A and B are shown apart, each in its own frame.
Chain A
Amino acid sequence: MRAPAFTPYASRGRKPIVAILVTFALCSTASIGLSIWQTARTQHRAEVLRVAERQQTLASEYVQQVMLVHAGQQSDPDVTATIMRLSTDALLDGGAVPTVPGNDDEAELGPTTDPVVRAQLIQERRLVDDMTATGAAYLAGRPASSVPLTAGEHLAVSAPLTRLRVLSMLTADAALNTARTIVAESDSDVTNLIAMQAVLGAVGLLVSLTLALALVAATRRQTAHFRSIVDSSTDLVIVLGNGGCRHVSRSVTAMLGVSEDAVAGGGILRYLHPDDRALVRSAQTSGRAEEIVFQLLNQHGEWRTLEAHVTDLRNDRAIRGVVLNARDVTERVRLQDALVRQAYHDGLTGLANRSLFRDRLEQALARSSRTGGAVAVLILDLDGFKQVNDSLGHDAGDQLLRVVADRLTETVRATDTVARFGGDEFAVLLDQTDEALAVSVARRALARLAEPAVVAGRELEVAASIGIALHSGDGAGDELVRDADVAMYAAKDAGRGRHEVFRSEMARDPDELLGLDNELRYALARDELTVHYQPEISLSGGQIVGVEALVRWTSPTRGPVGPDVFIPVAEASGLIAALGDLVLREACGVTAGWLRDGIVGPDFVTWVNVSPKQLTMGGVQDAVDRALRSAGLPARNLGLEVTETAIMPGAAADRARVELQQLHDAGVRIAIDDFGTGFSSLAHLRHFSVDMIKVDRSFVQGVERDAKDTAITANVVALAHALGLVAVAEGIETEGQLAHMRTVGCDVGQGYLFSRPVPAAEVTAFLAAARDDAQAA
């Protein structure tokens, strides 16, 4: 079954209207046509009738004329006879009717079709012929009875005049009866016409009524359809007329929780936000097509934001009002606000972010160029924040940042802007200020920050360094921030908890700081980084038991860059993973070569440093596995040096500990680096499997001067031995230090006294020589 074709609503209802009009047109045309035709026919009939009746008169006249001629008078019956004869011809077959001189007009007749009338006319013609023949015989003195009769007459009289009179009478009678028949027919025609007109009218009326009813029904259905579309739509439709609200859709009443009557007229105003009343009223009076946004109070007492399109349908007779087609955009507006907030605010502290700060700074500078006041930028960087993050975890770090944000906000005026640039870097914008004011704000901030803060259950003292830069006049917002940054570094260099105002002589190249991570990235790609190795010597036997792999960077532009400079940059930029991979790959490859060549023994260990950042990032286990596999190095010949905090319990370190534990289980050695400087816990040290403890160089280098350091080193070594671990002394530079470490029983030593860190080739030669010595011995 075929689905009926879709008819657009706009074209529905046209069909019935067209059909009504066509029916009317057809019926009217037929009716008028009939009337015209009938009128023409009637006019023609009247002519025919006149001619037919004239025959009657002429028949009488003919007899009189014959009698006149017979009596010797002047007359012309032949003319009359001719007229009568031609008239019957014309009546029968059509044509011109001769005129009776001085009596009437010439007329043109059509042929007669009616068989009855025709028969009568033919008989009339015969009678005319009989009469005129008889008349002619009478005048000619011939016996009338000698004239042959053609119309079926059986005349019982022989007197010629009587015969003539009887024939004249018959002729007149025939003419009269012909006329009567014509009249009778006309009557019936008129009756038929009336009947036909009545039928046409009735048919037209019936068809039109039916179609009109169909049209009304279709219109009703259509209206109902549109109403249900409007009512079921989620769009909120409000029609405003002169008297206020004329109509609202069901969705509006559902939202407001009231009936349509309650909002009709001025009732809608109760639900309209007072600030929006003027706007809606102006839309109602102007009817201008536009989008307006206003708020309505819903049934839960909540302001909903509506966005409406205004359509002026005041000239539409069906509407007579201004239509608001509205949608509830409350959620969208909220989301937009949230997005704007996100774009301009720091998610952690709720402070302004760098973009908003820059924006405010430009505005402030523009203002200052008009009013003349100065603008100050304070850049604040926390001292030792990294340690808090490393030792207490990032959650604690975040908590601390929020405390700092709150304290900074308390310190400044409400009109000043406090921003967080990221990490532990904050900025404060002071508008309409001077140097003395800016310095006092910095002091207040440092004092407020110095108050102890409780974070993660610990009482921390927070210190910060502040750089201050001032400017008045337009532009140079970025420069101002950079100057403040430079001043901040100057403050940091001068010691913790200080502030510095920017001076032009401070201007060290800020690009050095800003570009280092990029350079490091290129350095990694260009193999500018090399791995050096520092031997570790058995203090009892003097043989080389291992090496520590140390990364070195010689920049083509900067020269040698120390690990203390670029490792933090690598950690901050995420390059530390690639850097770690590089060192692991190199170290494993070199060590595997030594083992293969028999330069080192099976217990030889190459140690690689793993930074806490690397561990918290995860993936160390994979990197180690990869490096070992690709070099073909047994796990036992690789050691990882980690700091104490790496094995401390805490959310961030948990994964690292698991990874280290698994590596250790696989045979990789683990050493605790810089032992004694962090927050070590002996309990954890006991539970966590490590192989070696490296005594921090600061203790080793103090043994000759400081009794405390002497005691510490002795105890650390004793502790290591108690736990069954190997103790390593780092940074041995003098024979005295070596002697002390030997005395306290330290197992392994490392330092300039034995060898600086050297490139792989050098250490290879060194190891080969040592082997040869050992073999010779």
Chain B
Amino acid sequence: MLACAGLLAFAEWSGAGGGGQPSVRVVRITERDFHIRAPRRIAAGRVRLEVKNDGPDLHELIVVRDPAGARLPLRTDGLTVNEDALAPEEVGSLEPGVPGSVRALTLRLRPGRYEIFCNMAGHYMSGMHAVLLVGQP
């Protein structure tokens, strides 16, 4: 899983380099039980999200743009976010990362309101979500 994450990170890096776009902003995000710490506002454009998992549990990260309501739609159990319903809005995601790992996700973000969350069982309901406001650079 570590190797997998490393490979992914490498792919992102090469993607970034291959794009020939030097102006990639780095946004540091920290996940822990059961909280996501991220800057509230960032500038639009190419953004590199560096996600660190402070554990102790595994955590994933899903980025959705401009969700309809104040709360994300839930599945029928009422406890986890219905990702299928959010598919059109989803702009990127990171698979669960082990405690202590740092993973990166590079996105081109247009200005708008974004929500980032962890949808592992019960994590969203326990407070692992944050709003990201992307403004004009």
Contacts and interface: CB of A to CB of B under 8 A. Distances in A.
Given A155-B126, A166-B79, A116 B55 contact: yes
A156 B126 CA distance: 7
Contact of B126 (A119, A166, A172, A177): A166
B32 to A, nearest CB: 7
Interface residues of B, number: 23
Nearest to B1: A184
Given A122-B56, A173-B57, A177-B58, A116 B122 contact: no
Interface in B57-76: 57-58
A120 B99 contact: yes
B98 interface: yes
Nearest to B122: A169
Given A116-B56, A116-B99, A154-B126, 19 more contacts: A119-B55, A151-B33, A151-B34, A152-B126, A153-B33, A153-B127, A154-B34, A156-B125, A165-B79, A166-B79, A166-B125, A166-B126, A167-B122, A170-B123, A172-B121, A173-B120, A173-B121, A173-B122, A181-B98
B35 interface: yes
Interface in A140-166: 151-157, 162, 165-166
B78 A156 contact: no
A154 B35 contact: yes
B100 interface: yes
A120 B57 contact: yes
B127 to A, nearest CB: 3
Give the secondary structure class of A's interface.
Answer: helix
A152 B33 contact: yes
A354 interface: no
Contacts of A122: 56
A151 B123 CA distance: 12
Nearest to A177: B58
A172 B79 CA distance: 13
Given A116-B99, A119-B55, A180-B58, A173 B123 contact: yes
A157 B125 contact: yes
A169 B98 contact: no
Nearest to A126: B33
Nearest to A171: B122
B127 A154 contact: yes
Contacts of B1: 184
Nearest to A151: B33
Contact of B34 (A120, A153, A172): A153
Give the secondary structure class of B's interface.
Answer: loop
Interface of A: 116, 119-120, 122-123, 151-157, 162, 165-167, 169-170, 172-174, 177, 180-181, 184
Contacts of A184: 1, 98
Contacts of A177: 57-58, 96
Contact of A120 (B55, B78, B122): B55
A122 B57 CA distance: 10
A568 B98 CA distance: 137
A184 B99 CA distance: 13
Interface of B: 1, 32-35, 55-58, 77-79, 96, 98-100, 120-123, 125-127
B137 to A, nearest CB: 32
Contacts of B78: 162
A154 to B, nearest CB: 3
Nearest to B126: A153
Contacts of A174: 57
Contacts of B127: 153-156
Contacts of B77: 165
A173 B126 CA distance: 12
A169 B34 contact: no
Contacts of B100: 116
Nearest to B2: A184
B55 to A, nearest CB: 6
B32 A119 contact: no
A169 B121 contact: yes
Closest 4 CB pairs of A and B: A154-B127, A169-B122, A119-B56, A173-B121
B19 to A, nearest CB: 33
A170 B56 contact: no
A154 B78 CA distance: 16
A122 B99 CA distance: 14
A238 B121 CA distance: 93
Contacts of A153: 33-34, 126-127
Contacts of A162: 78-79
B121 A152 contact: no
A170 B55 contact: no
9 contacts: A151-B33, A152-B33, A153-B126, A162-B78, A166-B79, A166-B122, A167-B122, A173-B121, A184-B98
Given A116-B55, A122-B56, A123-B56, A170 B122 contact: yes
Given A169-B79, A177-B57, A155 B125 contact: yes
B35 to A, nearest CB: 6
A162 B126 CA distance: 11
